[in-house]
Amino acid sequence: MKDLFDKGVISLNIILIGPPGAGKGTQASLIANKYNLPFVSSGDLFREHRKLGTKLGLLAEKYMNQGELVPDHVTIDMVMNWLDQNKGGSSGFLLDGFPRTVQQATSLEKALGNANPVGPAVYINVDKDELLRRLTGRRVCMRCQISFHIHSNPPLIQDQCDKCSKPLAQREDDNFDAVEARLDAYRRNTEPLVAYYDHQNVLIEIDGNETIRQVSKDIVESLDCFN
Scanning 35-43, 111-119, 156-164, 194-202 for contacts with ligand ADP by CB under 6 A, the matching segment is: 35-43
Residue 83 half-sphere exposure, CB side, CA atoms within 13 Å?
25
Fill in the per-residue mask, 165 to 204: x = in contact with Zn ion (CB under 5 A), - = not in contact.
Answer: -x--------------------------------------
Q: Which of residues 115-134 bind ligand ADP (CB under 6 A)?
A: 134
Q: What SS3 state is found at 188? A: helix
* 4 forms part of the interface with Zn ion (CB under 5 A): no
Q: 75-81: long-range contacts (C-beta < 8 A, 24 or more apart)?
A: 75/42, 75/100, 75/104, 76/103, 76/104, 76/107, 76/108, 78/42, 78/45, 78/46, 78/49, 79/40, 79/42, 79/45, 79/104, 79/108, 80/107, 80/111
* 223 residue type, one letter: L
Binding string, 148-167, against ligand ADP, x = CB under 6 A? xx--xx--------------
Q: Does 94 bind ligand ADP (CB under 6 A)?
A: no
Q: Residue from 32, 100, 155, 168 that binds ligand ADP (CB under 6 A)?
A: 100
Q: Could you give the string, one character per residue 107-146, with x where binding to Zn ion holds by CB under 5 A and - elsewhere? A: ----------------------------------x-xx--
Judged by CB under 6 A, the residue of 11, 18, 39, 183 near ligand ADP is 18
Q: Which amino acid is at 215?
A: V
Task: Return the DSSP state at 10.
Answer: S
Q: Where are the alpha helices (DSSP H) in the chain?
A: 2-6, 24-35, 42-52, 55-65, 72-86, 102-112, 128-136, 176-185, 192-199, 212-225
Is 13 in contact with 111 (CB distance < 8 Å)? no
164 touching Zn ion, by CB under 5 A = yes
| Distance from C-alpha of 215 to C-alpha of 213, rounded to nearest angstrom | 6
Site for ligand ADP (CB under 6 A): which residue of 81, 158, 165, 211?
211
Spatial separation of the C-alpha atoms in residues 41 and 96, rounded to whole Å: 4
Q: Which of 13, 75, 91, 107 binds ligand ADP (CB under 6 A)?
A: 75
Give contact residues for ligand ADP (rule: CB under 6 A): 18, 20-26, 41-43, 46, 63-64, 67-70, 75, 97-98, 100, 104, 134, 137-138, 147-149, 152-153, 173, 182, 210-212, 215
Give contact residues for Zn ion (rule: CB under 5 A): 141, 143-144, 161, 163-164, 166
